[in-house]
Amino acid sequence: MKLIPKKKSKANAPRRRQEPQQRATNDELTERYSFQRNRTLTGSSSSRISSPNEGGAQLKSPRVHVHHLADTRRRIGGVLGIVLLVSLGLYLLISQFTAKVAVSVKDTPQTSVQELYEPIIQDYFGQHPIERLRFLASSEELTKYVQTKAPEVETIDLEPSSNFATSHVVIKARQPITGWTINGSQQFVDASGTAFSRNYFTAPGVQIVDNSGVPVTSGQAVASNRFLGFVGRLVGFSQKRGYTVEQVIIPSGTTRQIELKIKDIPYHIKCSIDRPAGEQAEDLDRSIKYLQQRGMTPAYVDIRVSGKAFYR
């Protein structure tokens, strides 16, 4: 009996001999398994028929589609709103940030002050980086720091600038009421008695020559408000009587008396700050007229004592 070998089926063939099968695509799988027997479809395509879990169903009615689109728009709108808020916050922070400064002096025609004050201000912000945000900056502390190197500065204000990340620094300079010659150098003094060397206003007509020998530097108070007020009143009363005061001299060894140098008068007038300025202006006028009537030219006239005048 001849034995015929049984042919092996292709299904039992080794994997390496099997013909490669092509995988189905997603579209083919969807089409193949979407509507099969014994498969339950959820949802409804009719707006009149409600079904459980309509939002997650396979079939969606137009009403559910509208709800789905509304939810999508709401989520996108929320994300855009957050992005806009964050962008606005960053813009506000950057607009308040001081990376550069534009410096100007208030009420003066001076314009070339940028190179003079910008390094000082940048040094201050370098030591206080948090104050580069303008709403956290202290104008008082900035003013005090700048005054240590530039005593002619009275106040400083930080204002927004049209340029991005730039602050406008507005400097109010001290206005001198008199000039003061100290140790041979020209200084100016404002109403507070503070001395400074850089003046942005018209030079004052009255010059004070300090021969007292007291060492003074810029930025320090060289005189009290009482002293400066006395000088200002005495000069004003003298001008009302027709006299022009050119110099106020503080003699050596005292700070309680002054000597006036009056235009066209060859001698000095000694005055005391302990007497009222108006009374001394009257005595000054009487003494000068008395000496002029008699053609006398003394070396000086002393009116420090009330009701009396001494001359030599």
Report DSSP letters for 101-133, one per residue: EEEEETTS---TTHHHHHHHHHHHHHH-GGGGB
The answer for residues whose C-beta is within 8 angstroms of residue 102's C-beta and 6 or more apart is 114, 161, 163, 166, 167, 168, 169
Look at residue 252 and tell me whether its pLDDT is greater than 80: yes
In terms of Cβ atoms closer than 10 Å to its own Cβ (0-12, 13-18, 19+), residue 258 is buried
CA dist 173 and 154 (Å) reads 5
Beta-bridge partners for 133: 97
pLDDT 10s digits, 179-206: 887 767 788 888 777 888 899 998 888 8
Starting from the edge strand earliest in sequence, which strands make up the sheet with 195-196, in order? 195-196, 185-189, 178-182, 207-210, 245-250, 257-262, 268-272, 300-302, 310-311
Closest CA to 163 of 103, 203, 119: 103
CA dist 193 and 188 (Å) reads 9
pLDDT 10s digits, 114-129: 999 999 999 999 999 9
* pLDDT score recorded for residue 131: 93
The residue ranking higher by pLDDT, 34 or 102, is 102
